[in-house]
Amino acid sequence: MDEIVLIGYFLSLLILFIFGLHGFVMLYYHKKYKTVQPKPIPDFECKDVVTIQLPLYNELYVVERLIDSVCAIDYPKDKLEIQVLDDSTDETVEVAAKIVEKKKKLGFDISYIHRENRKGYKAGALKEGLAIAKGKYIAIFDADFIPRKNFLKKTLSFFSNEDVGMVQTRWEHLNSNYSILTRVQALALDGHFVIEQTVRNKAGFFINFNGTGGVWRKDCIEDAGNWHSDTLTEDLDLSFRPQLNGWKFIFLKDFTSPAELPSEINALKAQQFRWTKGAIETAKKILPLVWKSKIPLRVKLQSTFHLSNNLVFPFIPLAAIFSVPLIFIKNSGSHEVYFALMSVFVLAFISTFLFYLYSQKDVRSDWRKKIVLFPIFMAGSMGLAVNNSRAVFEGLMNRKSEFVRTPKFKVVDEKDSWTGKKYLSSKIGLSVIIESIMAVYCLIGVVASIYFLELAALPFLLLFFTGFSFVAITSIKHALSQN
């Protein structure tokens, strides 16, 4: 039995170690290419038609804010087409249609396209809109975004290079200070955008369109085979196909598109589930194409890490499960060499910390206050691992599921609230029960660590316990608030 625990714990940490150390690779390239910046054409004036697509599905609370902000974008009206691609099944239909009619009377070329089915979900709506789009360039904004007025002026100049197929802007967070939940999400997303997207773009690796806040060359989308709906992350899928065909992407770290973060944990879990499962589906679809292509080996390796990093999630609860009996095994006084070797795995923790530290230092003047949240972020990532592990297994087993969009509630500051609003579930699912069991189980490990004075294991067991208990308790609390 001891051997099973020792081997299982070692293998779990080995996987986490390999992906964790990738942070050092990112930081190496971050330093190497720190002074490299994408260069737009000064005073560039685009004279082409631009189509802005707004995919919607039951967005009652934010649809007016979205359309108003898009119509405020600084671009000639005769060169701007706006498509409201609405798959809604509730009163959003009437609200959106009235707003569109109002904007039409003000001289905007705006159309309301309502589908009575959700064939292909978001990808299907974008594809149908693309077929009739007038624009040479296609900008896309999800319902929770408020694009800046100079969005098109800041992005379109990069298309003066005919090889550029897509320009992605960094997400900014409208409600990052709303709660501990949104603060931690902001930290996590900053790591992706400030380090991962920036470094990959500067170093010549593939980056991904993040589904919103970006502009495409229409020819690029069509050359890559258009939108596909066979994964839950249609944006990630479409990102790799054109780059494999030779198209270049640009990421703008220093220009942001503000958006609303999920303020309710079950909405966040639905979002994380979709992102995780979709990434696994995309990895299965795209990685064979990556390795068959003639791109450099370094790009193939980086793309593999990029597409497969969600595989770590099942190994997080496994590590937690094995860590508790490990306390008792270590206290028996055997396997000293094993435990001495295991100490090297702390390097992955250091790598992850530095990764997020530099992501905050690069864009936040108050980065010291932000990085203090790192232990909470780590605990939260551990707590969400049960939810995301299910997504990994479903993706690996080709189990198809509905595209569940993340509900938005126009929650920006402390005076706003999501409670009592539509779209939220009051269901307490199996994952919450498992999270609760894991919390109690890890508490046993915390008590055992204190009893046997195994202080080296205590911080990690505390993170496991805190993460699982926070996610479980908050999930139950937020679900019950809907009753």
CA gap 378, 79 in Å, rounded: 46
Tokens of 46: 């685009």
- The answer to whether the CB of 192 falls within 8 A of the CB of 356 is no
Residue 475 contacts by C-beta under 8 Å, 6 or more apart in sequence?
Answer: 265, 266, 269, 428, 432, 435
CA gap 374, 317 in Å, rounded: 19
Angle formed at CA 42 by CA 193 and CA 174, multiple of 5 degrees:
30
Residue listed under structure tokens 């609860």: 317
End-to-end CA distance of the chain: 46
Residue listed under structure tokens 């994952």: 431
- CA nearest 261: which of 187, 174, 370, 378? 174
CA gap 80, 203 in Å, rounded: 34
CA gap 186, 367 in Å, rounded: 12
For 78-219, strand residue ranges (E) read 80-86, 109-114, 137-140, 164-173, 214-217
SS3 of 86, please?
Answer: strand
Give the strands of the sheet with 50-56, arranged side by side.
109-114, 80-86, 50-56, 137-140, 214-217, 164-173, 248-259
- The answer to whether the CB of 110 falls within 8 A of the CB of 104 is yes
The active-site residue, picked from 142, 190, 235, 237, is: 235
Would residue 48 show up in a list of annotated catalytic residues for this protein? no
Angle formed at CA 286 by CA 283 and CA 288, multiple of 5 degrees:
100
Please count the other Cβ atoms lying within 10 Å of the Cβ belonging to residue 428.
Answer: 16
Q: Is the dihedral of CA 382, 387, 388, 390 positive or negative?
A: positive
Would residue 87 show up in a list of annotated catalytic residues for this protein? yes
The active-site residue, picked from 87, 142, 144, 190, is: 87
Side chain identity at 374, as an amino acid letter?
F
Q: What is the DSSP letter of 313?
A: T
- The answer to whether the CB of 394 falls within 8 A of the CB of 66 is no
Side chain identity at 304, as an amino acid letter?
T
- The answer to whether the CB of 93 falls within 8 A of the CB of 86 is yes
For 228-307, strand residue ranges (E) read 248-259
Catalytically active residues, by annotation: 87, 235
